[in-house]
């Protein structure tokens, strides 16, 4: 059952602007005029620094925002023992041969050999092994499954990525990455049904240790090195469908790469989506009905929306809103919606102000 859905007739003249990554540049497209019935949402991702990850629950028309550099590791609450890294700040990690965390430092030959590679945006296809699988499969995290046998759990070199950017870019561009956050070393073991995290600065000769328990109500329990404690990030796993975020994706042949203006769907709680291109069929957002939904078009990929809602931009041209696409979303409660993006920027052209509308299909 849907809990609530705000309905109204919207007649909007909006500038269609957009993004790809921190190096996007261009001019705004012309205003568009759309008349749509549905709930209107403007996620507060924070303007051109895109400092917030925003979780959207379609059935309650609610949004939850969290600063994206406020967490580092996510400890999975499902049956698998897996640890995720924060791709929204371009973290990367590599397994070392060592199992003694205190024996690892920046002078280690293995560490020195790996550091140039363990990063996002190196344009080397091999760096995909240092990030979590972009399509969201929990069994393909950069950190191996945590073993029952302690000696099988190795130390990991962790590139902490970047702080949220603070510079003001040219109008229509983004500045998502600030200063480097440096490096850590970690090791994760098990204690019964709990995780045990060992962590330290790279050249520390002693380490900290914390026990982290699973919580079945959530996809992950999150931990921050800044606060050295668990932090609240995602809503309850059945109470969000879409996440607006900066994202670490892949480019075929060039490895891991950072994307702004990205949307992932909550596949771990069965929220799925697919795109409809109005230039390739007779559907429009306005005339699409429940009977037009094709169940086999939904896929188990959290990038089903991704960056496909905007054009990528290029030399001398900023990314721009795609006016010819909309999406069908199956939420965590099994409700079906149609959803269309209306803007990527404010009326003044400042990036990082997305807007969309959606309607329940019934």
Q: What is the mean pLDDT of the chain?
A: 90
Name the nearest CA neighbour of 108 among 175, 18, 185, 45. Answer: 185
Q: Same structural domain for residues 147 and 184?
A: yes
* 68, two tokens: 């994206």
Please give the sequence-ordered ranges of beta strands (E in DSSP) within 219-296, or none if there are none: 220-224, 229-231, 242-251, 255-265, 272-277
191 found inside a domain:
yes
On the question of pLDDT at 178 being above 60, the answer is yes
Domain count, the chain: 2
Determine if residue 324 is left, alpha or beta; phi over 0 gives left, psi from -120 to 50 gives alpha, anything else beta. alpha
306 found inside a domain:
yes
Of the candidates 172, 207, 231, which is a domain's last residue?
A: 231
**Beta-bridge partner residues of 93:** 158
3 found inside a domain:
no
Confidence of residue 20 (pLDDT cuts 50, 70, 90): very low
Q: Tens digits of per-residue pLDDT, 183-195?
A: 999 999 999 999 9
Q: Tens digits of per-residue pLDDT, 139-151?
A: 999 999 999 999 9
Give 290's DSSP letter: G
Q: Same structural domain for residues 79 and 217?
A: yes
Residue 120: the pLDDT is: 97
Residue-range definition of the domain harbouring residue 187 = 73-231
**316 vs 107: CA distance, rounded Å:** 43
Residue 29: the pLDDT is: 36
Q: Same structural domain for residues 191 and 95?
A: yes
Residue 317: the pLDDT is: 78
Pick the residue with more confidence: 266 or 6? 266
Name the nearest CA neighbour of 327 among 270, 288, 279, 296. Answer: 288
333 found inside a domain:
yes
For 113, the enclosing helix (H) or strand (E) is helix 109-114
Q: Same structural domain for residues 61 and 113?
A: no
347 found inside a domain:
yes
27 found inside a domain:
yes
Across residues 119-126, what is the average pLDDT? 95
Sheet holding 92-95, edge to edge: 92-95, 155-159, 183-191, 194-201, 208-213
178 found inside a domain:
yes
Q: Same structural domain for residues 226 and 152?
A: yes
242 found inside a domain:
yes
Radius of gyration of the CA atoms of the chain, in A = 21
Of the candidates 231, 261, 290, which is a domain's last residue?
A: 231
On the question of pLDDT at 3 being above 60, the answer is no
What is the dihedral sign for C-alpha 82, 149, 183, 230? positive
Of the candidates 177, 203, 231, which is a domain's last residue?
A: 231
Query: How many residues does the structure list for the chain?
Result: 362
Q: Same structural domain for residues 77 and 218?
A: yes
Residue 149: the pLDDT is: 97
Residue 5: the pLDDT is: 38
Q: Same structural domain for residues 317 and 334?
A: yes
Residue 13: the pLDDT is: 29
Q: Same structural domain for residues 90 and 217?
A: yes
Q: Tens digits of per-residue pLDDT, 231-256?
A: 999 999 999 999 999 999 999 999 99
Q: Same structural domain for residues 97 and 174?
A: yes
Q: Same structural domain for residues 241 and 302?
A: yes
CB environment 261-288: b (16+ within 10 A), e (fewer): bbbbbbbbbbbbbbebebeeeebebeeb
Residue 37: the pLDDT is: 54
On the question of pLDDT at 316 being above 70, the answer is yes
* 65, two tokens: 């925002």
| pTM for the full predicted model | 0.89
Q: Same structural domain for residues 130 and 206?
A: yes
Q: Same structural domain for residues 220 and 349?
A: no
Name the nearest CA neighbour of 174 among 316, 349, 54. Answer: 349
- Residue 97: CB atoms within 10 A of its CB come to 9
**120 vs 255: CA distance, rounded Å:** 8
């Amino acid at each position: 059952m849907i809990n609530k859905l705000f309905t109204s007739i919207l007649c909007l003249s909006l500038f269609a602007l957009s993004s790809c990554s921190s190096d996007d540049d261009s001019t705004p497209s012309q205003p568009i005029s759309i008349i749509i019935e549905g709930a209107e949402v403007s996620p507060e991702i924070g303007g051109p620094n895109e400092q917030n990850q925003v979780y959207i629950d379609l059935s309650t028309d609610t949004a939850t925002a969290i600063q994206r550099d406020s967490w580092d590791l996510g400890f999975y609450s499902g049956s698998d023992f897996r640890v995720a890294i924060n791709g929204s700040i371009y973290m990367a990690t590599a397994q070392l041969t060592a199992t003694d965390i205190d024996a690892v430092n920046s002078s280690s030959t293995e560490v020195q050999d790996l550091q140039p590679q363990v990063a996002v945006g190196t344009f080397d296809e091999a760096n995909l092994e240092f990030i979590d699988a972009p399509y969201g499969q929990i069994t393909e995290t950069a950190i191996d499954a945590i073993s029952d046998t302690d000696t099988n759990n190795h130390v990991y070199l962790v590139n902490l990525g970047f702080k949220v950017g603070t510079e003001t870019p040219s109008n229509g561009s983004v500045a998502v990455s600030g200063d480097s956050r440096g490096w850590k070393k970690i090791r994760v073991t098990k204690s019964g049904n709990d995780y045990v995290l060992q962590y330290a600065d790279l050249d520390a000769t002693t380490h900290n240790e914390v026990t982290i328990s699973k919580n079945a109500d959530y996809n992950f329990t999150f931990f921050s090195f800044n606060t050295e404690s668990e932090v609240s990030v995602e809503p309850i796993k059945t109470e969000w469908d879409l996440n607006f975020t900066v994202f670490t994706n892949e480019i075929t042949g060039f490895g891991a790469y950072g994307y702004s203006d990205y949307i992932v769907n909550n596949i771990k709680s069965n929220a799925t989506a697919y795109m409809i291109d109005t230039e390739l069929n007779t559907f429009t957002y306005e005339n699409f009905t429940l009977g037009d939904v094709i169940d086999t078009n939904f896929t188990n990929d959290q990038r089903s929306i991704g960056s496909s809602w905007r054009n990528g931009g290029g030399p001398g041209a900023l990314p721009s809103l795609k006016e010819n696409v909309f999406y069908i979303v199956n939420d965590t409660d099994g409700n079906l919606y149609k959803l269309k993006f209306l803007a990527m920027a404010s009326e003044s052209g400042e990036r990082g102000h997305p807007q969309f509308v959606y309607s329940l299909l019934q």
